Amino acid sequence: MNAQPTPNQTAAGEAALRADFANLIDGELVAGNEWFDVLNPATGKAFARAPSVNRAELDRAVASARRAFGSWRATSVADRRAAIGHMAQILTDNAGALAELLTQEQGKPVGQSRDEIGRAASQSIGMAQIIIADELLEESAQRRIELKYFPLGVVGIITPWNAPINLAAGPLVAALYTGNTVVLKPSPYTPLCTLKIAALLREVFPPGVLNVVAGGDELGEWMTAHPGIDKISFTGSVETGKKVMASCAGTLKRLTLELGGNDAAIVLDDVDPRAVAPKLFFAAFVNSGQVCMAIKRIYAHESIYAELCTALAEEATKSRVGSGLEPGVQLGPIQNREQYDKLIGILNDTTTRGGRILAGGQVPEGPGYFFPPTVVADIDEHSRLVQEEQFGPILPVLKFTDEEDALRRANDTRFGLSGSVWSADPERAARLAARLEVGTAWVNQHRTTSATVPFGGAKESGLGRQYAALGLKGYMEPRVISVLKG
């Protein structure tokens, strides 16, 4: 018979779960009175609790950000750049402990968590080197017309669960570097590493400049409708992005949306299937396919289709799936039960429609949200797996005969985040890639991004851009200064 914990034991256990996690509001660490469980997706069980802010605490965070805005925008660009550099160094110095925490809440292998934190640091430094200069539009005897850029005010940032640190760093640095103050909300599935980083950054930024608050969907709704927030940067699903946009309309907030994708990779007939398969596999399955710009569909020329399918299946078969804290694991669990159940539904639809499973397809029993890397051939173009963003480790490979047909099928989607074309002739591929209806078209690569290259989606995959000068300007208001001389 199992002994039941005493009240004191229960209280002690709950205190341990809550340890070291707090919201950052106006320079203070605020635990509050409400908490929610955070699960480890490798076990499906709670391993910690995060503090949940109420409406009054959000109002306090927004008010503190607005108070701090005047002095922060007056801070020199050089000083803001130095603060961003200090932030990046803190991420680097604490990468080991942060990576382990990130893996516990997100699921990805700990080496990939460390890479994510390192990328967040390096991208931050890169963005803070970009100069947004005034633009002289006219200089004549009659007039001088300049275009200047000014910070917007308070930026609300809502981040997702698949890459919570890297996908927070982009909008966070863009907002702070351009002179805005911030209220940042991490996903309730993965709030812990973000909260820990906020505590580490407490001494880097003046009180109110950076506020980090945790909570559920209701908190996001409060932020998008809040009259004290001037811009929302949201990264997440298309469906939620539409709700965010509608909520922001009430106050005409500025808006950046980085939404989902259904990225196609077109593999032409001159490609060596064996050589390209590992690259395609990694671009599709890294983080167990939970990447907005991962390859979601492959269109392979009929002459190489069979061999490419075989090579991709071999990559899937030899991949090791398990807890991200175990050595040698390449693919961790699906991050949450809702997404796991969605993938089960897509797999069932795939088999019902006659898709041929080349690898994977057998979901293991036991704890955790593990889903094997699955490669599917001969799939119905109208199946869920092809039409939806699966956001998981199940990949359809489709056959084409004619390049124009492949391009038409690749573009026949409401998504438009990114895509790629693969060929032994890069210029041939580039001509085709230029006709993909996406925000980013790659040739012989996929998922390659940079702090100095803008990233975002076409169609329903988003509005605006992150990174580069174009992305930074999305956090600023352009103002024309027109001077009539004499």
- The pLDDT, as a whole number, for residue 4 is 39
* List of residues 6+ apart from 197 with CB closer than 8 A: 90, 91, 98, 165, 212
Residues annotated as catalytic are: 258, 292
* List of residues 6+ apart from 302 with CB closer than 8 A: 399, 400, 401
Cβ pair 476, 132 in contact under 8 A: yes
Cβ pair 154, 183 in contact under 8 A: yes
A 10 A CB-CB count for 368 gives 21
The structure tokens listed for 446 are 């996929």
Residue extent(s) of CATH 3.40.605.10 domains in the chain: 12-259+462-480
The 10s digit of each residue's pLDDT in 445-474 is 999 999 999 999 999 999 999 999 999 999
Cβ pair 181, 255 in contact under 8 A: no
DSSP string, 276-301: HHHHHHHHHHGGGG--TTSEEEEEEE
The 10s digit of each residue's pLDDT in 178-229 is 999 999 999 999 999 999 999 999 999 999 999 999 999 999 999 999 999 9
Cβ pair 232, 209 in contact under 8 A: no
Q: Which helix (H) or strand (E) holds 221?
A: helix 217-225
Cβ pair 237, 443 in contact under 8 A: no
DSSP string, 390-454: --SSEEEEEEES-HHHHHHHHH-SS--SEEEEE-SSHHHHHHHHTTS-SSEEEES--S---TTS-
Which of 355, 359, 353 has the alpha carbon at shortest distance from 373?
359
Q: What separation in angstroms does the CA of 149 have from each of 22, 59, 146?
A: 35, 28, 10
The one-letter code for the residue type at 152 is L
Q: Which CATH class is domain 263-450?
A: alpha beta
What is the signed CA dihedral for 221, 227, 229, 232, rounded to 10 degrees?
Answer: 50
Question: What is the SS3 assignment for 306?
Answer: helix
> Is the pLDDT assigned to residue 143 strictly greater than 60?
yes
Residue extent(s) of CATH 3.40.309.10 domains in the chain: 263-450
Which of 484, 122, 107, 167 has the alpha carbon at shortest distance from 321?
107
Question: What is the SS3 assignment for 238?
Answer: helix
The structure tokens listed for 143 are 């007039």
What is the rounded CA–CA span in Å between residue 105 and residue 49?
11
- The pLDDT, as a whole number, for residue 486 is 79
In 3-state terms, the chain is what percent helix, strand and coil (to 5)?
A: 40, 20, 35
Cβ pair 121, 92 in contact under 8 A: yes
What's the mean pLDDT in 315-320? 98
- The pLDDT, as a whole number, for residue 5 is 36
Cβ pair 418, 401 in contact under 8 A: no
Q: Which fold has domain 12-259+462-480?
A: Aldehyde Dehydrogenase; Chain A, domain 1 (3.40.605)
What's the mean pLDDT in 429-451? 97
| Helical spans, DSSP H, in 234-290 | 238-248, 273-285
The 10s digit of each residue's pLDDT in 153-175 is 999 999 999 999 999 999 999 99
Cβ pair 291, 162 in contact under 8 A: yes
Which of 251, 230, 205 has the alpha carbon at shortest distance from 155?
230
What is the rounded CA–CA span in Å between residue 120 and residue 273?
33
The 10s digit of each residue's pLDDT in 9-19 is 444 444 445 56
403 alpha carbon, distance to own chain's centre: 31
Q: Confidence band (pLDDT; 50, 70, 90) for 32? A: confident
- The pLDDT, as a whole number, for residue 18 is 57
- Locate the DSSP E strands across 130-200: 135-139, 143-151, 154-158, 181-185
- The pLDDT, as a whole number, for residue 17 is 53
